[in-house]
A and B are shown apart, each in its own frame.
Chain A
Amino acid sequence: MKKLMLGNEAVARGLYEAGCSFVSSYPGTPSTEITEYAAKYNEIYAEWAPNEKVALETAFGASLAGKRSFCGMKHVGVNVAADPLFTVAYTGVNAGLIIGVADDPGMHSSQNEQDSRHYAIASKIPMLEPSDSAESIAFVKEAFDISEKFDTPIFIKMCTRVAHSQSIIEESERVLPTAKPYEKQGEKYIMMPGNAKKRHPIVEQRTLDLIELAETAWFNRIEDGSDNTVGIITSSTSYQYVKEVFGDKYPVLKLGMINPLPVNKIKDFAKKVKNVIVVEELDGIIETHCKNIGVSVIGKEIFGNIGEFSQNLVAEKLGVDAPKGVALSENIPMRPPVMCAGCPHRGLFYTLKKNKLTVMGDIGCYTLGAVAPLAAIDTTICMGASVSSIHGFNKANDGETDGKTVAVIGDSTFMHSGVTGLINIAYNGSNSTVIILDNSITGMTGHQQNPTTGYNLKGDPCSKIDLEALCKSVGINSVRVVDPYNLDECDTVIKEELAKEEPSVIISRRPCALLKYVKHAGPIKVNTDKCIGCKSCMRIGCPAVSVINGKVKIDNTLCTGCGVCAQMCKFDVFEAVKEA
């Protein structure tokens, strides 16, 4: 039966059908749903690891044990997993091992636009790149076969428009692979220099063998056209844009495997057409390969390597008339994402701004603390960077910034890679204050459990990290907990901890307002007769609060009754909030 399926769900379906039984991942947009959908199959054991390095090493262990395994992450997650990646490339696998990586051209939800195809080349690991949901299923199955036949881990590379688009698929039955019990093989799995030196030539030969596969495999296909003046080489979602614009006019070489790339197939394709154009998002990976093998192509000089493509962009760059709409001449105000009404981070960030602190930020919903009117964040780099960089900042300033600087990091991000930075603060002794924004969930990616929540991916209760005890055990003596809905308490504790001559941790603890189990007091009531329209309540930047015609107005569809706005008011406009 035909079904509409999200690209990420299709990857999970492919895992199920290919007999995969082990998944370990770390959430990250646009990759998260692969693992969430995989966890819905009882036949697949699935877990969230604390970070991508742990996830990949775990999945490798499962492959060693003889289970077809998968590890999913977003593009920047591969940076974290890169250490095991480059060496698992040498050891190879026992049962098939897929690393699913999702790029984010256009940066819908990411801090950079890195092209993970570079990792496939650098680590000498093959990479398949589906262009819709049906291919996502087919390529996952193919990937396991390649992984086992060529004794290599393999990438499945998604991008936002493939991962988060639904297209039509047909399901088939799950087929279990043949058993592969673990056998001790020190020369293959112990990567000390003597063994690794013997493995490297095997890796190089493997790439040559994979190039042979690339020359003839079904997933690198030529689609004939009626006009041979132009031939287009493309892959992934760029293929869809090319077909949208040109249909069957020009011949297309559609590449399903992006590493290694074929040589003769490209040369033969180029011979049949007058001009070769390469259409690929981000960096010129296919283009560089073509030029290296002596095939003259046009690519990045017209397309550039920034941002997402679309059908109109491809049309315009290749000289085809694209439709143009008519815009309003009116200036349309931007609508940037904001912290939700009732978000526990709001009160905390207001306090940081009020105290005019330098704030080292991190990755999560709370990055929105950088947006006006809170505008309370100075830096956002990568997972865990807040905790490590405040240490360097304070050390380099010889203590001058100690009392004026904080790091903020979410509970999941702290588990991912913040705790190592905290160990450094204690070990190398900077007088730094770290605020853990503990909202009891991984928020930004859509509510995933993590080691601090007490539940695992399947929703079962499990061991729960005691953040206070953890911070104390690494050497932080001053650990305080505040309720971010209480502005006075936040202000007092932050001032006290910043004044101390020792490192400290403040845990700002309130569950995410969107969690289903969180009970809300309901919309706050206002007495507008008392309102003088001073707009003090609007300094917290809550989307549920506005002042219209000089009087405060609460959006009852949004307001949770957190009461932070009421604490801003000096005129008793807001009625007391009762705990839900």
Chain B
Amino acid sequence: MQTKNIMIVGVGGQGTLLASKLLGRILLSKGYDVKVSEVHGMSQRGGSVVTYVRYGDKVYSPVIDKGEADYIVSFEILEAARWVEYLKDGGTIITNTQEVNPMPVIIGACEYPQELEAKIKALGINLDAIDALSLAEQAGTSKAVNIVLMGKLSKYFDFTEEDWMTAIEQSVPPKFLELNKKAFLLGKEA
């Protein structure tokens, strides 16, 4: 099988690392070769962050390059727009519709771009957008945006609900398990 590529993008602090950990676990359990590449250190501080998840028979490079991503899971709509170029022809973007103003917008140096969903779709890209923040809050905490988006992503994979739930159990603390399971199902049904 040719290597498949999933990019997880967002704003530092949004919980992208947990999403990649969960994906890594489920893909490993299915017998794939897997590589997950993370960003630590300075760029985590509220900056634009990206995590790469790659799987297949044999994976070499830990990173995903322009035009290679089968899926981009974005925690914030501006970040989806930023990384569009990394999507493969025919790839899919799953995005949270939430807007988080970057510092240049906060200080008035530039405007937050408008109608990004429409502009991304105009490129002929399959864009699957949900309000993951509201769904996460509905599940019990705004921090569950990552699991809501994993629920949405799960619709594009053949794995069973049990596979996903096992991976969630291995990735979150027991006291938040029920909340996260709920968040996953809300994302899946959205």
Chain A interfacial positions (CB closer than 8 Å to B): 2-4, 6, 29-30, 32-33, 108-109, 132, 161-162, 164-168, 237, 240-241, 243-244, 310-313, 322-328, 330-340, 365, 367-368, 371-373, 444-446, 535, 538, 541, 543, 545-546, 555, 557
Contacts and interface: CB of A to CB of B under 8 A. Distances in A.
20 contacts: A4-B34, A6-B38, A29-B40, A30-B40, A164-B37, A240-B60, A240-B62, A310-B65, A311-B60, A311-B63, A323-B65, A325-B67, A325-B87, A330-B81, A330-B113, A333-B102, A333-B113, A338-B47, A338-B103, A372-B109
Contact of B12 (A313, A328, A337, A557): A337
A332 B111 CA distance: 9
Given A325-B86, A337-B46, A538-B106, A311 B25 contact: no
Interface in B32-47: 33-47
B65 A312 contact: yes
B93 to A, nearest CB: 11
A326 B124 CA distance: 10
A30 B41 contact: yes
Interface stretch (B115-123, B153-161, B174-182): B115-123
Interface string B18-62: 000000110010000111111111111111100000000001111
Contacts of B13: 340
A237 B61 CA distance: 7
Contacts of A132: 35, 62
Contacts of A323: 65-68, 88-89
Contact of B63 (A161, A328, A446, A546): A161
Q: Which 3 interchain pairs have the tightest Cβ spacing? A: A109-B41, A323-B67, A29-B41
Nearest to B79: A335
Contacts of A240: 60-62
B126 interface: no
Contacts, number: 192
B40 A339 contact: no
A297 to B, nearest CB: 22
Interface of B: 11-13, 24-25, 28, 33-48, 59-63, 65-68, 78-79, 81-82, 84-89, 100-113, 116, 119-120, 123, 142
A340 B45 CA distance: 7
Given A161-B62, A165-B37, A371-B103, A335 B24 contact: no
Nearest to A343: B45
Contacts of B34: 4, 166-168
B7 to A, nearest CB: 11
Contacts of A322: 65-67
Given A164-B37, A166-B34, A324 B60 contact: no
Contacts of B89: 323
Contacts of A325: 66-68, 84-88
Given A311-B61, A446-B40, 8 more contacts: A29-B41, A32-B40, A164-B38, A310-B63, A334-B104, A337-B12, A338-B45, A538-B106
B84 A327 contact: yes
Nearest to A239: B60
Given A161-B62, A312-B66, A328-B120, A543 B142 contact: no
B25 A4 contact: yes
B35 A166 contact: yes
A555 B60 CA distance: 41
Contact of A332 (B24, B38, B109, B113): B113
A546 B106 contact: yes
A50 B36 CA distance: 32
A6 B20 CA distance: 12
Given A368-B45, A543-B46, A373 B107 contact: yes
A5 to B, nearest CB: 10
Contacts of B11: 335
Most buried by B among A165, A538, A555: A165
Contacts of A546: 101, 105-106
A29 B119 contact: no
B102 to A, nearest CB: 4
Most buried by B among A166, A444, A535: A166
Contacts of B48: 334-335
B12 to A, nearest CB: 7
A185 B190 CA distance: 72
A445 B106 CA distance: 26
B65 A332 contact: no
B67 A324 contact: yes
B71 to A, nearest CB: 13
A530 B41 CA distance: 40
B113 A311 contact: no
Contacts of B28: 2-4, 168
A367 B41 CA distance: 13
B41 A108 contact: yes
B109 A109 contact: no
A444 B104 CA distance: 22
Nearest to A310: B65
B119 A337 contact: no
B47 A165 contact: no
A275 B135 CA distance: 58
A332 B82 contact: yes
A161 B37 CA distance: 7
Contacts of A32: 40
Nearest to A371: B103
Contact of B24 (A166, A312, A535, A541): A166
B65 A372 contact: no
A333 B78 contact: yes
A486 to B, nearest CB: 23
B132 to A, nearest CB: 13
Given A325-B86, A325-B87, A365-B45, A332 B81 contact: yes
A108 B66 contact: no
B98 to A, nearest CB: 10
Given A166-B35, A167-B34, A333 B104 contact: yes
A371 B116 CA distance: 27
Contact of A328 (B61, B81, B100, B103): B81
B86 to A, nearest CB: 6
